[in-house]
Amino acid sequence: MSDLVSEEDLARARTDLAFRQQLMAENLEKLLEKLNDLRRSSNVKPEVAKQIREGVDLAVKLADRLQQYGGQTGA
């Protein structure tokens, strides 16, 4: 999968629950990796701290959606 989600992937995710979960899980993993990279960097500028906070908020939302969809079946 490329770094960006294609329009085709988005269309498929709207109708295929398993694919949607996979797509969200993969992107959550990528987000967490980037957040860890930022956290470990020696760059402690205010804009980096803001990006980390925004990323954490997004990760929580994505994890909540994964849990929500985890209990559903079908499309």
Tell me the per-residue pLDDT of 33-58, one tens digit each, with 9 for 90 and over: 988 988 888 767 888 888 889 999 99
pLDDT classification of 72: cutoffs 50, 70, 90: low
For 12-75, give the DSSP string: HHHH-HHHHHHHHHHHHHHHHHHHHHHHHSS---HHHHHHHHHHHHHHHHHHHHHHHHHT----
Q: Give the predicted TM-score (pTM) of the model.
A: 0.72
pLDDT of residue 71: 58
Lowest mean pLDDT among 14-18, 25-29, 67-71: 67-71
